[in-house]
C-alpha cells in the first residue's frame, strides 16, 4: 500500500514538473505566437470589413501595411532556416507588398488582394502549424 502511494506520488510530481517545464519553455519565447496573433488580428479586421461591406480605404491600408511589416518578422522570430518555411514566408510578403501597392479603395478590390494573402497563410499552416 505504502509503495503504491509512493509510486502514485512520484507520478503526480512528475506530471506537475513536466507541465511546468513546458510552460516555461513556451513563455521563454512568446514571439512566434505574438507575431501570428498580430497577423490574425489584422486579417480579422479586413475580413470583417468585407463581411460588413465597410471598406474604408484608410483603415484598409493601415491593416495591409501592418500585415506587410509584421510578415517580415516571421522568419527571424521563428528562428528557422528551413528553406521551404522561409519560402512560404516570402510568398506571404510578396502578396502583401502587392496588396499595399494596389491600395484598394473598394470591397471588391480588397477581396481580390486579400485572397492570395489568405492562401499564403493557409499553405504554411497546412504544412507547419
Site residues, ligand HEC (CB under 6 A): 32-33, 36-37, 39-40, 43, 67, 74, 85, 88-89, 92, 117, 120-121, 124-125, 128-129
Residue 20 DSSP code: H
Q: Which residue number, 53 or 129, has a Cβ lying nearer to ligand HEC?
A: 129
Q: Which residue number, 28 or 129, has a Cβ lying nearer to ligand HEC?
A: 129
Distance (Å, whole) CA 46 – CA 59: 9
| First CA to last CA distance, the chain | 45
- Shortest distance in whole angstroms from residue 23 CB to ligand HEC: 14
Are 40 and 66 a contacting pair, CB within 8 Å? no
- Shortest distance in whole angstroms from residue 103 CB to ligand HEC: 18
- Shortest distance in whole angstroms from residue 59 CB to ligand HEC: 17
Q: Which residue number, 20 or 69, has a Cβ lying nearer to ligand HEC?
A: 69
Q: Which residue number, 67 or 113, has a Cβ lying nearer to ligand HEC?
A: 67
Q: Cα–Cα distances in Å, from 107 out to 13, 18, 50, 53, 112? A: 56, 49, 6, 6, 9
- Shortest distance in whole angstroms from residue 62 CB to ligand HEC: 15
What is the C-alpha R_g of the chain?
Answer: 21
Amino acid at each position: 500500500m505504502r509503495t503504491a502511494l509512493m509510486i502514485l506520488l512520484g507520478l503526480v510530481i512528475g506530471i506537475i514538473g513536466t507541465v511546468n517545464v513546458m510552460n516555461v519553455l513556451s513563455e521563454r519565447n512568446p514571439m512566434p505566437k505574438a507575431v501570428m496573433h498580430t497577423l490574425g488580428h489584422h486579417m480579422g479586421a479586413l475580413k470583417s470589413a468585407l463581411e460588413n461591406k465597410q471598406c474604408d480605404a484608410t483603415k484598409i491600408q493601415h491593416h495591409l501595411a501592418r500585415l506587410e511589416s509584421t510578415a517580415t518578422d516571421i522568419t527571424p522570430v521563428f528562428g528557422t532556416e528551413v528553406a521551404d518555411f522561409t519560402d512560404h514566408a516570402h510568398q506571404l510578403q510578396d502578396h502583401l507588398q502587392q496588396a499595399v501597392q494596389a491600395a484598394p479603395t473598394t470591397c471588391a478590390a480588397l477581396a481580390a488582394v486579400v485572397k492570395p494573402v489568405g492562401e499564403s497563410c493557409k499553405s504554411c499552416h497546412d504544412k507547419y502549424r
